[in-house]
Homo-oligomer: A and B are copies of this chain.
């Protein structure tokens, strides 16, 4: 983003006014559009609010913008031509679509991260740069040829990657499948989006875990689905509620994340895995099993997924490279019966015409390279190290104020704040002190929980980050 030049002879307010005039004339802010508030623009540009006030005054004196008290500052409508013409009411279009915006907490966190890249990030559910195999991927890209045909590829995704995934799933996840049962997606997010859009209709009821990252995804609500919850405890999700949800609400699908669940980090135990499959197959209910974290199991022995014991073909299995290699690759996959895969592939063609072949090829090379296994071992070791740093810091900084279970894999620690606390205030105080986290209510839990992601921050940020969090918490409690 453009910032004013503090060394220039031109006053800051004048530079800002000139830049805004350019942005307005280029259509970024068309006639009638609302400009950012003085406070927000000052934050974005890193200047005092008074400087923005002067810049706006300058533009107002030129007739380019108008301010009305209480309704903010807008681009003038009549500066730009004869009266009968006007700009579309973009505001109405933006508010009018049927797709819901992201949750306010998540937008606030994203905005904070964009405005201050120095924030210590306990919020983003992804790997830090030191955990991603960037050098390995770089090396592979240098060695390999990309001269093959760069046209639209198979609707289910790049064939060599699907073949490699058949091997991978067999070797690492104990899943027997065929390449025609695999759909390559742009990560788990797209897999879930395709399922909620194409296999379910508005008004359908589904069961999700409580708490669950599914709750944080407005796509479920945008698709008009009714969400019912299955409580998660230290042994993972409790399947016994499924039968009554089915009787009462005719739930159509069950979404679970059995290994190192997001956000709680729990591992579903074996008895419940069997029970879950037994109940759903008695009812003929499909399960969507999201399995992004398994390979991060710190003891190296991850539990086999539901899909590997799914005799009835009830499970749609979702996986991804995001949490084991790099989220920026945007490569995930889904394993499902042929009829489902074909339907979703057809719909995906309509949405984006499929995935770029370049990251698919990179993923395929990485999977088959000698880099893959050592990368995984290093990743587990480093995540375990970061987890321990986080736990140590929480115990040191917040004795008696928090309680949590120690996760055995994944990137997340689910932390109960023992005294009563206001989520919103806690987050704002934390941002003011230079850290972000995700309030537990985003995942549908009661307030007073926090999800700390230890995968994203650097090791040496964890202790200072928790120390800042402790300050924020104490300021809210006092």
On A, residues with C-beta under 8 Å from B are 1, 22-23, 25-31, 33-34, 80-81, 84-91, 93-94, 96-99, 101-102, 107, 110, 114, 124, 126-129, 132, 134-135, 137-138, 141-142, 145-155, 176-178, 180-181, 185-187, 189-190, 193, 197-202, 217-219, 222-223, 252, 278, 281-282, 284-286, 310-315, 326-331, 335, 337-340, 343, 346-347, 349-359, 362, 456
Contact B330 A355 (CB under 8 A): yes
Select which of B26, B94, B137, B217 is within 8 A of A340 by beta carbon. Answer: B94
| A335 smallest CB distance to B (angstroms) | 8
Contact B282 A85 (CB under 8 A): yes
Residues of B within 8 A of A129 (CB): 149-151
Which 4 pairs across A and B sit closest by C-beta, in order of nearness? A30-B313, A150-B326, A150-B328, A330-B356
Residues of B within 8 A of A141 (CB): 141-142, 146
Select which of B199, B202, B339, B352 is within 8 A of A189 by beta carbon. Answer: B352
Residues of B within 8 A of A282 (CB): 84-86
Contact B91 A339 (CB under 8 A): yes
Q: A132-B150, A155-B110 are in contact. Are A330 and B352 (CB under 8 A)?
A: yes
Contact A327 B150 (CB under 8 A): yes
Count this chain's copies in the assembly: 2
Q: A149-B132, A356-B186 are in contact. Are A314 and B23 (CB under 8 A)?
A: no
| Dominant SS among interface residues on chain A | loop
Beyond A85-B312, A93-B340, 18 additional contacts (C-beta under 8 Å) are A28-B177, A28-B180, A28-B181, A33-B313, A90-B313, A91-B339, A94-B199, A99-B350, A102-B350, A114-B154, A126-B151, A129-B150, A129-B151, A134-B146, A141-B142, A153-B328, A186-B186, A330-B355
Residues of B within 8 A of A30 (CB): 312-314, 337
Residues of B within 8 A of A200 (CB): 93, 96-97
Q: Which residue of B lies closest to A284 (CB)?
A: B86
Can you give 27 contacting A-B residue pairs, CB < 8 Å? A23-B338, A27-B310, A27-B315, A28-B338, A30-B313, A33-B339, A80-B311, A80-B312, A81-B312, A85-B278, A87-B314, A93-B252, A94-B339, A98-B201, A110-B155, A134-B149, A137-B146, A137-B150, A149-B328, A150-B326, A151-B326, A222-B350, A329-B356, A329-B358, A331-B356, A355-B356, A359-B359
Select which of B22, B94, B286, B358 is within 8 A of A356 by beta carbon. Answer: B358
